[in-house]
Structure 1
């Protein structure tokens, strides 16, 4: 079935094409931060142009809707293969895969946008959703805009949706603020995009309304006479333009002033898609450190690394920077959300490094050589699944496999290749100054006392000195009991020296770390000043405890720190307590932990913390002298002491300024900010809804209050004309009152026109009953029109500005009205 509607006039085609084309341009500017690649501009130009052209062609040729949609789908598939999917034109199989990705991308491509790290570039199929926006949105907006009636109003809404793509799928940060005092909230780009979008929609609506009015006048002139087709002159046009421009200026200034005061963190769709909930459910990898040294795991092959460049001698499994008083864990705060890596950008001097997973590694954490800056190339039967499930923390310090809302462990046979640049080897840690204490000293009295007694300066050099003391006065032990599970690592150490097993507890909570520093302080006090190092060995543990202790010591000295679990590929110390991997083959016995500290240049510097195992513990006790006259208590009582409440330390709380707690609580401040934001936003949205009826009611009340009957009757006529203008009855401009009444074809208009002419031109002035009759006619006509209209039409009439613009036009056309006779 074809469209039997008349041909679309150029007065409707040209504004619609300009609106949609400009909308594509604005949407491209809005979405540029998502891609930052020339390919997205190419897709915008091709997709927007073809979508607009197909919609215009379908309308001009009066295609049925299913034919237009079929041609549009074919055009979309062709464009997807040609410009949106890299490599799809390389061969026939690649083109077929491109068609498949184009179809699936309509539904599944949006999640890929939300899980990849920005910018996306032209990685895989990330441009498919963008093609859907510019092609599909351009086609639909043009098709609706070319149709007559209310359905055409969907065109500017679709343009707004196209522009909103960049805001919905972009990053939460908006950039720098406006370059004006006090306007440092929204960015210039965001404000400009919003203003241009509003101008496009308002301009198109104005042109469309003007074209429809002209067409209606042309149709009316063919069936009736005496219709005034004047628009009120240039003065009226200028006044309308000035009114519209003034409203836009007021709205823009109000938005620019109010937004910085009430704006909070911007929330986008990207904020809700991340694997952090999976990360938080996984136990602390540092807490399971000792499991690597069980006999079954000690010699099991975890992975094999080949091709590491010079200076890159570490493979990191997990980087942990959050300490809650019980464990170090991966940071899952907003600044550290995991994302997927998109366009693989290889450093100029990078070399390929291959990693093959062995049978002893079953964790979801991806072993990273150096730093993961680009997406690795996976190999094996699960290559596609692993590539789609990989999420990386900012900075490439940690990567995890997550699929279907759960961790995806690596398996034997999985492999990948990553590009790694040589390590420049810069280290400014010794010269890095410290700062304010980043832990609560009240929770770490033993650590604080030990650091102060050692007179460690608050610098990187002081930290290195403190870590050296910890390692020299610590003793390596991976187990609590010398049993079968500990046999492998004990035998390894005994093969190198006369190692004597010492039991040690697992865990790295505040209490466990405090016990270590208490043992060190007690040993130092018992041994006395000047005691040799052999008598100062007191703290028993392994990398789990010593890495946590070094990280907390760094924070006490005012330095940024974190803990890393991984392996070393090389080590200059042949007697290291935890050996490096042998020719790139890494086993459970090679797993270690170290502390990383941020130096003056902002780089993270690794600090080894494994304690020594050559000198065993020498327990020194002070000699005790019993009292000469011991006393016995008369009534001994044993009190049951309640255990202290659980405490935790949080470096984020320690970093807060002291004066923050003295003001409004953070939770209450956020609630108040949200309430103020909602109230102000609703007030701004409701302003035109409230203002227009108030203005109309004020005008109506002033007209009714006229004390002179003649003026009251003329005011009733003006009120009736405003009622007709708001409900869309016309024409209501030009001609005498009787001519206007005949044009609107309403009996009430004819009666009131006759009554007004008599009031103005009769020999004797009218009396009060006549003015009351005139207003009764107006009230009855308004009630009749409201009763016959739908609820939507009544709301539209109440908010319409036609009566206000009509009055301005009448004043411009007749600045000094003169009485007219009834027959003029």
Structure 2
């Protein structure tokens, strides 16, 4: 049968076609991993994957897994290609950078992709910002972090770098123990960035240790020949398996009893890092309570502050929980409670989702702020917050600046919420709320939030109110009943009325006047502040809440704003005691003004004024403001914060990286030139000649020429097909080194000149990219020196040897 005219015989193929086919076959042979390569790939993926498991407690959802696994696979791919073609390590760095920038968008930062796939300028900025500033921001965010934020780039970076470095070390270092160092570093990093809750003790402890030991055994076995009878490999395998089993059993049995396994001893970075947030910079809303009353200059009493849908009427809406009294004001504390997942900090930044804590009925609430309504840094919340999503023109700004205290469900937005802002809250509605009267019995916790304060001015009044009570809770009920039944309500009246005598505030001096007269007279501010101090005086942990009670229809006005207290029961839950349980009716006005005699008695009880303003102090509308210079310093030319966005991007993300790369390029070239010049001018003439040949061979390797290892100079010269003078230079070097007599210095100088000319020929026969690769290849700096007869190894040490000698005691 005749051959098809469409398929020419093998003999008729053109030389160009054969060359292309051979090139493709050679490329396939180079890239296909061997059995040892596959083993190293699998164990690299296993160890780095176990290290990345530490992010399980740091991020919400499954999106972080996609970023981490994507980074791991990309790192393995880049490292395999670089090691297969024996490219310099700097190519690995460039490949990882390109993979991160090009594929980091689809894997981690997907908000601003073009067509949902291609990265944009905003994507590059987010990736660069995450790589530089993301580590610190991760430690200041409340874990688990919402997976929709750009910080998903961090698992991608760890997986990318750890996998690439581990596999590169495995393929380029024959030592069996060096391969476990990079995954161990990745494991330590994920633990440091993690939480107080371990991700998995079995996976990151036992499994990681077994895999690491097994890999070291496998690599050590490769470099050893079997014993005489051929059974050595099996014997070593059995011994290794036994050791692994013994280590696993010992770890499982003895591990839980070793030092450091106690949860109280676990230390992570986020418990030691103080977030860049100062709660003392934000005034307590309780001190400004009267702007919601009538009459007042703000005229908010009958003004719509906000509209809330999704919650039943009567639900407490929290503006702020105030759990710290400094003698001047009830304010938000700057430390978290002992039950907090991160007890080092109170307020932490959060994303759209927050880990649920406590019990309650799940609900989704919509909050809308109308024109002329609520405007403050304190974000109104309900119950336990499990998620906040903003809408409107300032959604991105508010979302990026949301801070939350999970212990108190108090949220702050430093840029203030105001007219036109909208947000959706996912919450757990409270189930324990005391609305009208206090229960006859309750089991409160024991503790005091005001231990350092002098509150003896309350004792006389409390003793008079609690004569028949036998328990702290009964005493608190008696105090609340006396306030409600015998007290009077006043907001200070109009400017010239007789009630203007009753000033706002709840400092020790103001509360001493409040309790020091025959009839209590004040508003929610004084009553709630006093009741909370009395409860703590009775050893019942109590805090003040500023907020509103949701009316029918969900429209909150100024008249719905109140202050109440929360007490902690013996289960650790905080129970709201709403204002009706201790506040007199608004229509119950004071019977008479304080007499001069009462005023003189009270004056002796007022403590001296504080020398400095306490934290979280807000003077009310009728009080003087803090003497703080609020003017911003003038912007300077060299202050990057005053530059436009395009200039900052050009300087920090274009010019600065280019300058770093250029500086690195010339640093490597300069170091190699210095090393070449040093070996050409120092040592004996024989050593100089030997160094000249070795330096030429190192340059040839940098240009991409494959030279046989542990070969003679003539064999190396035969492999340099593109350098005709290589053979004569090898013969000349052998003659000078091994010939009779000792060469002169002039002979060594002439030989260096010849090798420099040969190096120039090598460079001229290469394309631009090979020359660039040779220029930035750092391997010649650490190459081992030559041996010369009768002199031992090199007369001048290499950089690597100098480092070893310095480190050797």
- Which among 424, 442, 445 is matched to residue 417 of structure 1? 424
Cα drift, residue 8 of structure 1: 12
Alignment of 1:77-92 (within 5 A): 80-85=104-109, 91-92=115-116
- Which among 148, 159, 162 is matched to residue 123 of structure 1? 148
Q: Bigger CA drift: 84-93 or 57-66?
A: 84-93
2:367 matched to which residue of 1?
354
Q: Bigger CA drift: 198-207 or 505-514?
A: 198-207
SS of the counterpart of 2:147?
coil
Task: State the number of aligned residues.
Answer: 573
Cα drift, residue 128 of structure 1: 2.2
CA contact (8 A) 2:206 2:252 kept: no
CA contact (8 A) 2:326 2:453 kept: no
2:525 matched to which residue of 1?
544
SS of the counterpart of 1:288?
helix
TM-score of the aligned structures, taking structure 2 as reference length: 0.58
Alignment of 1:561-640 (within 5 A): 561-570=542-551, 584-587=555-558, 590-599=560-569, 602-608=573-579, 609-618=582-591
1:505 matched to which residue of 2?
503
Cα drift, residue 358 of structure 1: 3.9
Cα drift, residue 551 of structure 1: 1.0
- Alignment of 1:285 onto 2:290: no
Distance 1:396 1:214, change over 3 A: farther
SS of the counterpart of 1:350?
strand
Distance 1:645 1:98, change over 3 A: closer
Cα distance between partner residues in 2 of 1:101 and 1:390 = 19
Cα distance between partner residues in 1 of 2:214 and 2:806 = 23
Q: What is the root-mean-square deviation in Å for CA atoms of aligned residues?
A: 5.3
Cα distance between partner residues in 1 of 2:139 and 2:429 = 32
CA contact (8 A) 2:71 2:155 kept: no
Cα distance between partner residues in 2 of 1:313 and 1:412 = 23
Distance 1:261 1:72, change over 3 A: closer
Cα drift, residue 303 of structure 1: 3.0
Cα distance between partner residues in 2 of 1:641 and 1:110 = 52
SS of the counterpart of 1:272?
coil
CA contact (8 A) 2:306 2:374 kept: no
2:487 matched to which residue of 1?
474
CA contact (8 A) 2:442 2:473 kept: yes
Cα distance between partner residues in 1 of 2:311 and 2:87 = 63
SS of the counterpart of 2:557?
strand
Distance 1:435 1:210, change over 3 A: closer
- Alignment of 1:272 onto 2:273: yes
Alignment of 1:773-812 (within 5 A): 790=801, 793=804
Deviation readout 1:755-796 (Å, 9 max, x if unpaired): xxxxxxxxxxxxxxxxxxxxxxxxxxxxx99x9995754688
Cα distance between partner residues in 1 of 2:91 and 2:453 = 75
Cα distance between partner residues in 1 of 2:806 and 2:203 = 31
1:382 matched to which residue of 2?
394
Cα distance between partner residues in 2 of 1:256 and 1:383 = 50
CA contact (8 A) 2:528 2:563 kept: yes
2:188 matched to which residue of 1?
164
SS of the counterpart of 1:373?
strand
SS of the counterpart of 2:377?
coil
Cα drift, residue 564 of structure 1: 1.1
Deviation readout 1:226-261 (Å, 9 max, x if unpaired): x9x999996999699979989997999699544369
Cα distance between partner residues in 1 of 2:500 and 2:443 = 37
CA contact (8 A) 1:467 1:550 kept: yes
Q: Bigger CA drift: 235-244 or 338-347?
A: 235-244
SS of the counterpart of 2:321?
strand
Q: Bigger CA drift: 32-41 or 391-400?
A: 32-41
SS of the counterpart of 2:416?
coil
CA contact (8 A) 2:194 2:268 kept: no
Deviation readout 1:552-600 (Å, 9 max, x if unpaired): 22223443321111223329xxxxxxxxxx961534x654311122346
Cα drift, residue 41 of structure 1: 3.5
2:342 matched to which residue of 1?
none
Cα distance between partner residues in 2 of 1:611 and 1:541 = 9
Cα distance between partner residues in 1 of 2:555 and 2:177 = 66
CA contact (8 A) 1:87 1:94 kept: no
In structure 2, the gaps of 5 or more residues are 1-26, 338-344, 598-603, 615-793
CA contact (8 A) 1:308 1:369 kept: no
2:736 matched to which residue of 1?
none
- Alignment of 1:57 onto 2:81: yes
Distance 1:619 1:441, change over 3 A: farther
1:148 matched to which residue of 2?
173
Distance 1:295 1:73, change over 3 A: same
TM-score of the aligned structures, taking structure 1 as reference length: 0.57
In structure 1, the gaps of 5 or more residues are 176-186, 218-226, 402-406, 485-489, 491-499, 524-537, 572-581, 625-639, 651-783, 799-824
Deviation readout 1:505-550 (Å, 9 max, x if unpaired): 333233433443332xxx3xxxxxxxxxxxxxx1222222111111
Cα distance between partner residues in 2 of 1:15 and 1:174 = 33
Cα distance between partner residues in 2 of 1:230 and 1:793 = 38
Distance 1:389 1:357, change over 3 A: farther
Cα drift, residue 274 of structure 1: 2.6
CA contact (8 A) 2:57 2:197 kept: no
1:40 matched to which residue of 2?
64
CA contact (8 A) 1:43 1:131 kept: yes
Alignment of 1:323-338 (within 5 A): 323-335=325-337, 337-338=346-347
Cα drift, residue 400 of structure 1: 0.6
